[in-house]
Amino acid sequence: MPTGRLLLASVDHLDALDLQQRLTRMGHTVLAIATSSHEALHLAAAVRPDVVVIDLRLPSSADGLQAGTYIWVTLGIPVIYVSAHFPEGTLQRLWPSCPTGLLGKGTAPEALHQAIAESLARQVPPGITPTTGGTRHPSPARLL
């Protein structure tokens, strides 16, 4: 399976370090760890990872869903959302963002690796067209 350069964004630093170790053992490179949505946005633009793994409950004026959607739709970087709980309201907000992955915390290593491999295979967000470069994607990313 292909390996990638990843950005992690997690509210819990210990969870992020554990995930970093698991991903490194799988052959992936973790470029940085963000602890807020705004830091995730800044780092995604600066280091241009292949995939962003982002916690839905990141603090700041934008939550992890908004930051992840912005990263996917604007920067074209695939996003895997991670959370301990997926209440119905969150799932309804996730659907329009078309995430490349949705995982529960503590997901088996094989499922995590598969989600990353599938994300690496994604080239362009669904709302971006090669001819116009414009977006047609309904997005909950209201950040700037």
DSSP 31-64: EEEESSHHHHHHHHHHH--SEEEEETT--SSS-H
**CATH number of the domain bearing residue 108:** 3.40.50.2300
Tens digit of pLDDT for each residue in 111-123? Answer: 888 888 888 887 6
Q: Is position 144 within any domain?
A: no
Across residues 6-34, what is the average pLDDT? Answer: 92
Q: Which domain holds residue 74?
A: 5-121
pLDDT at 107: 81
How far is Cα 100 from Cα 102, in angstroms, rounded to an integer? 7
Burial class (CB in 10 A: 0-12, 13-18, 19+), 89: exposed
Query: Is residue 44 in some structural domain?
Result: yes
- CA atoms in the 13 A half-sphere facing the CB of 89: 1
Domain count along the chain:
1
pLDDT at 93 (0 to 100): 63
The answer to whether residue 140 is domain-embedded is no
Please tell me the predicted confidence (pLDDT) of residue 61: 73
Is position 32 within any domain? yes
Q: What's the pLDDT at 65?
A: 85
What pTM, to 2 d.p., does this model score?
0.79
